[in-house]
Structure 1
Amino acid sequence: MLTNLKTRQETLPHNKKEGLSFIKKEYMLEGLFCANCAGKIVQEIKELPVVYDATLNLSTGRLIVFLKKQADFEAGLLISQVQEIADRIEPGLTVKPSGQNENQNRTNKAGETSTLKNKITSENEGKHQSYDLLLISGILLFALTLYFDYRGFDFVPFGIPLLYSVAYLLVGRSVLKLTIYNIGKRNFFDENFLMTVATLGAFGVGEFAEGVSVMLFYKIGEYLQERAVKRSRRSIKEMMDLKPDYANLIREGKIVQVSPEQVKPGDKIIIKPGERIPLDGRVIKGKSRLDTSSLTGESVTRAINKGDKVLAGAINKNSVLTVEVIKEYRESTVSRILNLVEEASNRKAATEKFITKFARYYTPAVVGIAAFISLIPPLIFPGSSFSNWLYRGLVFLVISCPCALVISIPLGYFAGIGRASRDGILVKGGNYLEGLANITRVIFDKTGTLSRGVFRVQEVSATGNYTGEKLLKLAATAEYYSHHPVADSIKEAYGKEPDLVNIEGYNEIPGQGIEATINGKEILLGNKTLMEREKVIGFKEASGEGSIVYVAVNKDYAGYIIISDELKSDSKKAIRSLKKLGIEDITMFTGDREKTAAAVSKRLGLDNYEASLLPGDKVAKLEEVLNGTYHGRVAFVGDGINDAPVLARADIGIAMGGLGSDAAVEAADVVIMTDEPSKLGKAIFIARRTRSIVWQNIVMSLGIKFLILVAGLFGLATMWAAVFADVGVALLAVLNSIRVLTLKK
């Protein structure tokens, strides 16, 4: 499956398949909110001798490190090295092993915490309080110095410049430390370097107040960025709360609280009212209602009875349930969803990748231009003031900082993924969100996607010596071993248990039907192709809306059964919403015969349909579309079970109602976690608005910067205008990005 392979390769070391041995270790970085800092931390970790590769997810703070071999690994040393890197780049971060004391904490009652967790939290808070205290002290001293400077007070020689310098050190201490460290690593061109050079340059030409203000506004911008990231990650953090704390395991007649990882398939667990279901299972005792809003986005609770399947992550609302576990925790629905959410920000959109490369070359270029502006004109133009041109070069440096782009674009995609998750739409990464925005053609599977996938017998027509009841009994007996939805509907319509002693042979013919031997008679049940292939005597093609199952006994035609599948209530709404979004072509792929497909297509208002398709035919038809004259982006929407190959082959594969389906979660790029096809329109709407906001940020940031750069070049822009072009534009871009979270449709 092409898409699935791409997905996995993006989250593993790129040459792992070459046979090298890796050890995977996971850590949590608490207090991380800076996208730019996250990239720097990862880059330095990759340079450690024991590390082969590393990824850091800003949305969860989870750091995954791939170590080269066991002999090189020392847990205490590695975590201290990671902590040292984090302290240099972003003061106040705390590094700890992922899942530390997790199993112990899960067995504690609500509200209890471990001593170690309290210690880590206390230390983390202490770091932030100390850091904040320095910043607040710097702000107060700067305000006081501005007042003294304005009033003309100067207690001692160089008193005012000295006070400005102390305020500058208090405010910009972390920036200066990081700049010195980066210079030592020969990494000159980043926003910290730009801020340091620009502000120290302002001090050099006597603009002390402007130098401190630039650093101050830069730090305020960082603070507001942190607040924006916290807000934008809230939706995804709510989904991360799906993780169950414990499971009430029935062991030797007693209930024991254990971690979900300790429970095995076949074990029985108790779920009390108000508790979150820890593992996928089947109800063996009790009935209740479940809140599945955190999984599907649905606000209405679902009724659950004995025999029903329940999914990990849902909350039991009313009564006690006894559940038999059917999957291990790592294979459960909630575990797979959490893994996808954690990995989503690692899959970057093309725009994000472009901006990252753009910033890499852009920053050195503007440093060079700033140096040219500061040094060359005074040598060329007679009477030019060196300090005047130096000031212009410093203004140029401040303006050119790429923070607005580096921060806001990843944040925009991050917010888009979070917004979609609130509606029960799981997007696996920014690249897929961008792909979703570019969709121009949608192909739907019918059964289970546009229709309910629940078949009902509508008509039984017998010929010769057979009655309708006898024909239905014969068909139900022959279909006994089949689990196809059509077979289930026939057995349900018959309503009795067939005599299994009479079934002497059974063979399923893919895409055509079955053949069985009952009481020595050869029974054929299937479509027109099967009847014609076996040269059934007296066969005549029937008419009617729905799937037609023909029956033959010893090659003699005995009659037919018409079975129809009810369309979902919001399928029409889904098609209307896609047409409003300007989707050029909406097509349906179905295994139904031509007449049924045509009727469904007409009722829904589809543009095209392809009928009588076997599962393999769907892939072939999609290949024709992708390799033909049509050059737009194509999405395929399926139920995620039989359609996994097609979901993987499409430009964007979208699984409908795939919450409990392994095939859906693995093969699709987007998973709509309910049975509502109308959510596809909402997903495309969110993707397009996200793309629009991202490009607004690009145009706004570059446009304003260019205008003020030109003004600064001619001496028309001051350092204050430069601050707006840097910090102000960055804040506007961040605020614009988080608008995605408030989108309504």
Structure 2
Amino acid sequence: MATADPKKKKKKRKKKESLEHKRNRILVALGIFAVVYALDELGTLTAAFGTPGDIYASFALFLVPFLIAGYDVLQKAFSNIRRGKAFDESFLMAVATIGAFAMVFFPDTDPHMAEGAAVMLFYQVGELFQAYAVGKSRKSISAMMDIAPDYANVEQPDGTLEQVFPDDIAVGTVIVVKPGERVPIDGVIVEGETQLDTAALTGESVPRPAKSGDDIISGCINMTGLIHVRTTKSFGESTVARILELVENASEKKARTENFITRFARIYTPAVTGAAAVLALGGGLVTGAWSDWILRGLTFLVVSCPCALVISVPLSFFGGIGGASKLGVLIKGSNYLETLADVDTVVFDKTGTLTNGTFSVVAVHPEAGYTEQSLLEVAALAESFSDHPIAQSVRAAYQGELDPKRVSDSANDAGHGVTATIDGKHVVVGNAKMLAAAGIDVPNCEVVGTILHVLVDGVYAGHIVIADTVKADAEQTIRDLHAAGVKRTVMLTGDREEVAASVAKQLSLDEFHAQLLPGDKVERVEALLAAESGKGKLAFVGDGINDAPVLTRADVGIAMGAMGSDAAIEAADVVLMDDKPSNISRAIRVARKTMSIVWQNIIFALGIKLLILVLAALGIANMWLAVFGDVGVAIIAILNAMRAMGVKNL
């Protein structure tokens, strides 16, 4: 059996051990710190070493937990200095904490070794919180990575199954998927039937039935029956491979806000370092109270560390993308998540997006003594030799068995209908033009769709209405979008005006445009984009290959992933892994919640830090308040960022 690369497993295990080791190291340092702090506060050090010996004993004892907890921070700071990249949070922590210990050279002031050790300890506690939060937000995305299959079963001539790497399977090969196994490659079921668990792809917990002739996508879990699948794509082009590629590349596309924070930190860090130096040196030169002003400068440095921003903002976006993936929505980068939050116009393609994209009988109106079933039987027999989608829908609607032997002299009049002799009777099934040619005036029908009129031996027997049915959750989708703050919903379609009008009315769309070619759709979208004002953005939702140009042109392109074309999925910025348009509104709510959390963290972190920076410059804030201003703010911001992963009530 093919297995995952052991080097990858080893690497992953090593990382986990490193985090555990760091946690244990910090716990040991915290224990030692607590003991030393108690000895210092209870006067034990003074009693044992006298004055000023107690200060030097305190220096030596507090240095132990400081080095145990923070040696890696000091190493990183000195390494960055050597590489010419000094100004980061490690540098600020190193300078501030070493400076606090250096206050031992001013024995006339209160000792600050405890604060120096505490700053490093709590900074490392904040780093642990960050590691935990990132690990938690990665889980939903890591679950996606677990959909990658290890092998495919290929049946040998002697009936045995050989496990082969999916990459080595040629298109057209018949593979066997046993119950409990993951489908490795996209294909068509040629034998067997089963229930499929698609939760990892779509977020849908209800199993989907699948039988011979059904398309099947990789990444699903075969739950009940043994199935044989003929592959229709190579592994590299299959659904699971495309999803993995999207997930792996998502972190590379950063939002404007995320890029701003990165640029801000590069300017901010050296600026506050310089300000701290000016504060310490300037105050010391003017007043001569060097110890007081150096302490103010060190406190200023601790507070100014930007880790709350540089950790929580990317973590918020990461959590939002991970939360969306739980809903079966793949967002290709935080830049698209940010844009999605500003969407106020959603434009839909009709077929396959708001409608199912398959014809079905929606009404049967019999006349001349026929019943619905007898009229369907005549039409189904007449259409029994046709592969046209309309013929297939008529046969599917008839519930009884069809005997082709009852049919003779079947003929097809392309674009109009069919004629046949059934049980010796001449039958015509076609549109109004075909019956008009036979001298029959057909009645009007209020039901919108393609109408098949049935004539039996010159007698009008009734008509059957066939239409592309609206998806079950399409109407709710439009209501949810308006509730989520979307101002305008628009439908674009190449279908007839009356069909488009019927769908638009049923769904309560704000506007629609019919009989459009692919190029016309692009023009319509560009006109809608030109009408956008302020921060408003336009999203286009489609599933067909002819939607790719429009998906690319929109501010955010959303593709229906499960049944959508490869071109549409490639061109889109957001992919819905099931075909439920209702997830569009949920994705928008995830995006808006994420951006709200991002700005909460930015305003909270900068506001608290600015306040404590002013207090530090005035000599009011002490090192303990500085610890809260840095580590406390960072932990609160991280915990707030983790809320972006919560999508249960969206």
1:595 positional shift? 2.5
Which amino acid counterpart does residue 348 of structure 2 have in structure 1?
F
Q: Which amino acid aligns with 1:322?
A: H
Equivalences for residues 48-87 of structure 1 within 5 A: none
1:152 aligns with 2:64: no
Match runs of 1:580-591 below 5 Å: 580-591=483-494
Q: Secondary structure at the match of 2:345?
A: strand
For residue 621 of structure 2, what is the aligned residue in structure 1?
A: 717
Q: 1:741 to 1:120 in 2, by over 3 A?
A: closer
The answer for the alignment partner of 2:259 in structure 1 is 353
Cα distance, 1:345–1:211 mapped onto 2, change above 3 Å: same
Q: Which runs of 5+ in 2 are unaligned?
A: 105-111, 368-374, 421-429, 434-438, 454-459
Residue 273 of structure 2 aligns to which amino acid in structure 1? V
Partner AA of 1:214 in structure 2: V
Partner residue, 1:340? 246
Deviation at 1:481, TM superposition (A): 7.6
RMSD: 3.8
Output aligned runs, 1:82-161, within 5 Å.
104-105=2-3, 131=22, 134-150=25-41, 151-153=43-45, 155=48, 157=53, 158-161=56-59
Change (3 A) 1:126 1:570: closer
Partner SS state of residue 639, structure 2: helix
| Counterpart among 729, 736, 742 of residue 633 in structure 2 | 729
Instruction: Using the TM superposition, give the Cα deviation of residue 490 of structure 1 relative to its aligned residue in structure 2, in angstroms.
Output: 6.8
SS of 1:563's partner is strand
| d(CA) in 2 for partners of 1:434, 1:496 | 59
Secondary structure, counterpart of 2:348 in structure 1: strand
Letter in 1 for 2:507: L
Q: Deviations over 1:154-179 (max 9, x none)?
A: 55643221122233222211111111
Deviation at 1:133, TM superposition (A): 5.3
Rounded Cα–Cα distance in structure 2 between residues aligned with 1:118 and 1:474: 60
TM-score, normalization by structure 2:
0.84
* Counterpart-to-counterpart distance in 2, 1:504 and 1:543: 24
Q: Which amino acid aligns with 2:121?
A: L
Give distance in 2, aligned partners of 1:395 and 1:660: 57
Deviation at 1:692, TM superposition (A): 0.3
Give the superposition deviation at 1:146.
1.4
Q: Is the 8 A contact 1:333 1:660 kept in 2?
A: no
- Deviation (angstroms), 1:470: 14
Considering Cα pairs closer than 8 Å and 6+ residues apart, tell me whether 1 or 2 has the greater RCO.
2
Deviation at 1:246, TM superposition (A): 1.6
C-alpha distance after superposition, 1:444-495 (max 9, x if no partner): 1222211222213557999xxxxx9999799969x9686xx55754786898
Query: Residue 673 of structure 1 corresponds to which residue in structure 2?
Result: 577
* Contact map agreement 1:615 1:642 (CA 8 A) in 2: yes
Quote the residue 1:614 is aligned against.
Answer: 517
- CA deviations 1:298-354 (Å, max 9, x no partner) are 111111111111111111111211222221111111111111111111111111011
Tell me: CA distance 1:606–1:117, structure 2 relative to 1, closer, same or farther (3 Å).
closer
| Secondary structure of the structure 2 residue equivalent to 1:687 | helix
After superposition, the Cα gap between the structure-2 partners of 1:728 and 1:131, relative to the gap in structure 1 and judged at 3 Å, is closer
Aligned residue number for residue 566 of structure 1? 469
Task: Tell me how far apart the structure 1 counterparts of residues 267 and 185 of structure 2 sit (CA, whole Å).
Answer: 49
Correspondence for 2:162:
256
- Structure 2 equivalent of residue 15 of structure 1: none
Q: Give the Å deviation of 1:188.
A: 1.5
1:400-479 aligned within 5 A: 400-457=304-361, 458=363
- Pair 1:676–1:128, CA change in 2 (3 A): closer
* Alignment size in residue pairs: 606
Q: Is residue 2:539 matched to residue 1:635? A: yes
Q: Distance in 2 between matches of 1:504 and 1:327?
A: 35
CA contact (8 A) 1:657 1:676 kept: no
Residue deviations 1:536-575, cap 9 Å, x none?
x999997644344799xxxxxx999853222122111111
1:649–1:125 distance in 2 versus 1, CA, 3 Å = closer
Tell me the residue number matched to 1:59. none
Report the Cα offset of residue 200 of structure 1: 1.1
- CA positional deviation for 1:401: 0.7
Q: Deviations over 1:205-243 (max 9, x none)?
A: 231111111011111111111111111111111111111
Q: 1:452 to 1:214 in 2, by over 3 A?
A: same
Contact 2:544 2:564 in 1 (8 A): no
Q: Is the contact made by 1:283 and 1:310 (CA closer than 8 Å) also made in structure 2?
A: yes
CA distances 1:252-276 after superposition (whole Å, capped 9, x unpaired): 3321112211212222222111111
Tell me the secondary structure at the aligned position of residue 431 of structure 1. helix
**Which letter does structure 1 place at the counterpart of 2:591?**
A
Structure 1 residues 686 and 500: alpha-carbon distance in aligned structure 2, compared to 1, 3 A threshold: farther
In 2, Cα distance between equivalents of 1:698 and 1:486: 57
Q: 1:594 maps to which residue? A: 497
Change (3 A) 1:373 1:105: same
Normalising by structure 1, we get a TM-score of 0.74
> Partner letter of residue 667 of structure 1?
A
SS in 2 for 1:276: coil
Contact kept in structure 1, 2:183 and 2:218, CA below 8 Å: yes
- Structure 2 residue matching 1:233: 3-state secondary structure: helix
Please say if residues 563 and 579 of structure 2, whose CA atoms lie closer than 8 Å, have aligned partners that are also in contact.
Answer: no
Cα separation, 1, equivalents of 2:417 and 2:621 = 85
**8 Å Cα contact 2:23/2:128 also seen in 1:** no
- Which of 444, 448, 452 is 1:546 aligned to? 448
Bigger Rg over Cα: 2
Counterpart amino acid of residue 596 in structure 2: S
- Partners of 1:500 and 1:411 lie apart in 2 by 69
